[in-house]
Copies of this chain bind each other. A is one copy, B any other.
């Protein structure tokens, strides 16, 4: 029926959604009100078992693949059709919040339940997925489950990774799979008709503009660099400034120049130095070594390519006699989401009379790997002060429910095309 998306949205229950989010937040709850639920930990296992139990209540079929991505499936009327998939991740940062990731999984489940309770049939199956290890807190890199699913990362290499305690990923995965037995086995890269992920914004724009829904048009490109500066130790009292090879002052000059030269009027460029280490670290010794990181992001592929190319020349131009090594460590091109999916999200938000704006995601998400496989998109909802990766992460129940209403409408819309 043509009003099925609206009926699905109307069946979304704000209180039920909130109760389920709070239930999920107990697994790994921290005294400060956050969540420590790292990938393939006991807490992650408990969260997975909870999702499987919810699924059982509705006869939704759970499944799992070889990297532990967990799927919950509501059949469509045409069982052989590729499913429309939603989801996110259940793992958290060591000091994470209740909503980052969990919202996309729990909200996805609420959408399926709303559709089920509204007795809506869809041609395509609907699935909710909890991707393994999006955060990368315990095993690096993050967004691992979706990257292995998409073929960007290789399973064997991931299985051999170790966490800080020396536990191998394959051990932790075996424990996880043993604790969630009897699930259907799923293949990597199976065909999806569409992928739509709901997530808190993790930034301040929706809250600041009083907008309910972020229609995510893409994910900005991300480049990481590690810069090392090698100078010469010297006595702070006896060595004239002109004779020094001061690694700290060179690094300071580089960062000041990068800040100035990479800045844009529209405040779109994201340039961050998050790590800065200086040795030997005695107040009266001229530093001989500095290591700092650069995190550089921009939504436009041509612009980020141009900015990225300037990093090393700017650093070298301010070396001040020191040796400088600039090493790129991550290079992720911007993701442009599928125009039809973006339009579906925009249209359903409009149909529900919810304020919405197009926006680019500042953070990376599992959806960036899915976008290479199938038409993909995301729905953002506001979070308090843009805080995330923080135990104080917060979001309003009404905002969270509005996002799931849009999601439910989109899923029905896409599954009946």
Q: Out of B241, B267, B274, name the residue touching A270 (CB < 8 Å).
A: B241
Contact B204 A222 (CB under 8 A): no
Residues of chain B within 8 A (CB-CB) of A274 are: 236, 248, 281-287
A343: Cβ under 8 A from any B Cβ: no
> Would you give the shortest CB distance from A294 to chain B, in whole angstroms?
8
A238: Cβ under 8 A from any B Cβ: yes
Which residue numbers of A lie inside 8 Å of B, CB to CB? Answer: 201-205, 220, 222, 224, 233-243, 246, 248-249, 252-253, 255-256, 259, 263, 267, 269-278, 281-287, 290, 293, 295, 297, 361-364, 386-390
Q: A237-B295, A239-B386, A275-B281 are in contact. List 13 more A-B contacts (CB 8 A).
A: A203-B239, A204-B243, A222-B237, A235-B362, A237-B364, A240-B270, A243-B386, A246-B272, A248-B273, A274-B282, A274-B284, A275-B278, A276-B276
Q: Out of B237, B286, B293, name the residue touching A283 (CB < 8 Å).
A: B293
Provide a sorted-by-A list of 27 A–B residue pairs whose CB atoms are within 8 angstroms: A203-B238, A204-B239, A204-B240, A220-B237, A222-B237, A224-B283, A233-B390, A235-B386, A236-B270, A236-B297, A237-B295, A237-B361, A238-B362, A238-B388, A239-B270, A239-B362, A239-B386, A241-B263, A241-B270, A243-B386, A248-B276, A252-B273, A253-B256, A272-B283, A274-B284, A276-B287, A284-B295
Given A256-B253, A275-B278, A202-B386 contact (CB < 8 Å): no
Contact B363 A295 (CB under 8 A): no
Contact A295 B269 (CB under 8 A): no
Identity of the chain B residue whose Cβ is nearest the Cβ of A293 in the assembled complex: B283
Identity of the chain B residue whose Cβ is nearest the Cβ of A142 in the assembled complex: B284
Instruction: Give Cα distance in the complex from A256 to B246, angstroms.
Output: 13
Contact A235 B202 (CB under 8 A): yes
Identity of the chain B residue whose Cβ is nearest the Cβ of A286 in the assembled complex: B272
> Would you give the shortest CB distance from A359 to chain B, in whole angstroms?
10
Identity of the chain B residue whose Cβ is nearest the Cβ of A224 in the assembled complex: B283
> Would you give the shortest CB distance from A276 to chain B, in whole angstroms?
4
Residues of chain B within 8 A (CB-CB) of A363 are: 235, 237-238
Identity of the chain B residue whose Cβ is nearest the Cβ of A244 in the assembled complex: B272
> Top 10 nearest A-B pairs by Cβ distance?
A203-B238, A238-B362, A237-B362, A236-B272, A283-B293, A276-B278, A237-B363, A274-B283, A236-B295, A202-B238
> Would you give the shortest CB distance from A255 to chain B, in whole angstroms?
5
Residues of chain B within 8 A (CB-CB) of A295 are: 236-237, 283-284
Residues of chain B within 8 A (CB-CB) of A220 are: 237
Given A235-B388, A237-B364, A363-B235, A275-B283 contact (CB < 8 Å): yes
> Would you give the shortest CB distance from A205 to chain B, in whole angstroms?
8
Identity of the chain B residue whose Cβ is nearest the Cβ of A297 in the assembled complex: B237
Instruction: Give Cα distance in the complex from A411 to B224, angstroms.
Output: 63
Residues of chain B within 8 A (CB-CB) of A241 are: 263, 267, 269-271
Instruction: Give Cα distance in the complex from A415 to B233, angstroms.
Output: 41
Instruction: Give Cα distance in the complex from A203 to B267, angstroms.
Output: 46
